[in-house]
A and B are shown apart, each in its own frame.
Chain A
Amino acid sequence: DAKTTQPNSMESNEEEPVHLPCNHSTISGTDYIHWYRQLPSQGPEYVIHGLTSNVNNRMASLAIAEDRKSSTLILHRATLRDAAVYYCILRDYETGNQFYFGTGTSLTVIP
């Protein structure tokens, strides 16, 4: 599976938007981009996924670059409960049944 690169950590002020970047320069045409987050002492939680077009749901938005070599998870108004490790993952539906997590981005939200 193609690899992703994320910053190790980021900080955001409460109630401000947060843009979490992810690079995936070796993405293939059949790779979907998934985002999960993991709060302390919990299992990962699905956030959002997409293929080519930008996606929105109640938790976040996913902006995908036109060449698909990068993407950005957008939290529109960070809250203290959004403090977590965010994982950007590529999943090939044709060949892969599992997710390959990296080390993710640890997001700190400052009150």
Chain B
Amino acid sequence: GAGVSQSPRYKVAKRGQDVALRCDPISGHVSLFWYQQALGQGPEFLTYFQNEAQLDKSGLPSDRFFAERPEGSVSTLKIQRTQQEDSAVYLCASSRQGESGYTFGSGTRLTVV
């Protein structure tokens, strides 16, 4: 596709429920990033993939958060036992190898009730 696609666009989860958020990066983009954006704040880094390898997961806030990119294209961010503080927009971005700019998706807005 022409851009980074994220699904679902909106997700409402009951506290304690597991959720899975999907990111389809631009075809051929080697690098993939996940960010979390709380209301009124800038995006905060969660994790980074180069192809299928997760090279940096230092931003994942707890062991309830897990990300994978098994074939080096589509990525899934999974949040187990969701808590209210997980409510945020989750953004995915991708870029070509060595490219300076990222292309972001429109994000998934997660609301935990």
Query: A-side interface residues toward B, CB under 8 Å?
Result: 32, 34, 41-46, 49, 85, 87, 91, 97-104
B103 proximity list for chain A (CB < 8 A): 46
Contacting residue for A98 out of B42, B45, B50, B107, CB 8 A: B45
Q: Are B106 and A43 in contact (CB under 8 A)?
A: yes
In contact, A42 and B106 (Cβ under 8 angstroms):
yes
Closest chain B CB from A95 CB (angstroms): 11
Q: Is B106 a contact partner of A100 (Cβ separation < 8 A)?
A: no
Number of A-B pairs, beta carbon distance below 8 Å? 52
Cα–Cα distance between A44 and B45 once the two chains are bound (Å): 13
Can you offer 8 A-B residue contacts whose CB atoms are under 8 A? A43-B107, A98-B33, A98-B45, A98-B56, A98-B59, A99-B102, A101-B35, A101-B43
Q: Is the CB of A44 within 8 A of B104?
A: yes
Known: A34-B100, A44-B43, A97-B56. 20 other contacts (CB 8 A): A43-B93, A43-B104, A43-B105, A43-B106, A45-B104, A46-B101, A49-B100, A49-B101, A85-B42, A87-B42, A91-B100, A97-B33, A97-B48, A97-B55, A98-B59, A99-B43, A99-B45, A101-B44, A102-B42, A103-B40
Give the nearest-CB partner of A106 in chain B.
Answer: B40
- Interchain CA distance A45-B91 in the complex, whole Å: 12
Q: Is B31 close to A, CB under 8 A?
A: yes
Whether B100 and A32, one on each chain, are in contact in the complex, defined by CB atoms closer than 8 angstroms, is yes
C-alpha gap A43/B37 in the complex (Å):
10
Contact between chains at B31 and A97 (CB < 8 Å) = yes
Give chain A residues whose Cβ lies under 8 Å from the Cβ of B44: 101
Residues of B within 8 A of A97 (CB): 31, 33, 48, 50, 55-56
Q: Which of B15-56 contact A (CB under 8 A)?
A: 31, 33, 35, 40-45, 48, 50, 55-56
